[in-house]
Amino acid sequence: MLWEIKEQLLTGGLLSLMAGLCTGVGAALALFLKKTDTRLLTYALGASAGVMVYISFMELMPTATELIGEQSGGKWIILAAFFGGMAAASLIDHLVPEDENPHEVLSLNELHSLNQCTTAECKRQVRQRVRRSAMMFAIAIGVHNFPEGMATVAAAFDNTGIAASVALAVAIHNIPEGITVAVPLLYGTGSRRKAFYIGTLTGLAEPLGALVCMLILLPFLSTTLLAVLFAVVAGIMVFISFDELLPMAERWGHHHLSIYGVVTGMFIMGLVL
């Protein structure tokens, strides 16, 4: 039994690390693109939201309900846990200043304002403003990534298949997220290396969240706790989709592309699961 738990923890931790590193993949892609394709980013962010919402309602919530069984008040516990996950994600969201929240990512016009400057002083001021906003945005993304790592390892406690699905959903949305972190960093710092390293670092908040989850939850592990965790994770993922991913997609003005992305993401996960 102890060995099985250790194996589950290791699997969850590795899945969380791999998902987190996908932010670095996105950051690397951003550095080699001559021009950021906002249409592609919009579609990718929409697909990411679709993936996470589908997994939450079609995988995590049914599993949580099954685990809780016929326990007295079980359905109310799952419902409370789901909205509790949303509340936890909202609390994290409110800890980040509104101007630097992920749904306030800089527009391309703001980024390209650097090229419109005609004096060295103007360029210095714009670069300084973009650099500050980019760094705060990167920190905000790291804060939001923390509970995603907890979600992945929590899923691995019961079913490594579900953990793989959660990790896949997180990994898919980390790629466009890495792009949106690296682009303003590149404009603000002028360094491809710094943009890549900082962009990758934001994703490493996920294995850190997984480690914290391991240390806190392991002594209290039970079927009921697992059911509650799955519902909490579902709430977190749904909140992130509607509060972070879709607003980021809408930021660039391609509304229908973001919706097409949502539908595509759901369809893909329906086939995968």
Closest CA to 230 of 152, 176, 169: 152
Q: Is the pLDDT reported for residue 271 higher than 50?
A: yes
Q: What is the Cα 100 distance to its own chain's centre?
A: 16
Confidence at residue 79, expressed as pLDDT on a 0 to 100 scale: 94
User: pLDDT tens for residues 189-239?
Assistant: 778 888 888 888 888 888 888 888 778 776 776 778 878 878 887 888 888
Closest CA to 209 of 176, 166, 241, 172: 166
**The token pair that represents 146 in the structure block:** 């923390």
The domain spans of the chain are: 2-33+40-272
Average pLDDT for 15-20: 87
Confidence at residue 67, expressed as pLDDT on a 0 to 100 scale: 80
User: pLDDT tens for residues 126-183?
Assistant: 666 666 666 766 776 776 677 777 777 777 766 667 777 778 878 887 887 787 778 7
Q: How far apart are CA 163 and CA 161, in angstroms?
A: 5
Residue 253 Rama label (left phi>0; alpha psi -120 to 50; beta): left
Confidence at residue 59, expressed as pLDDT on a 0 to 100 scale: 81
The pTM of the whole model exceeds 0.75? no
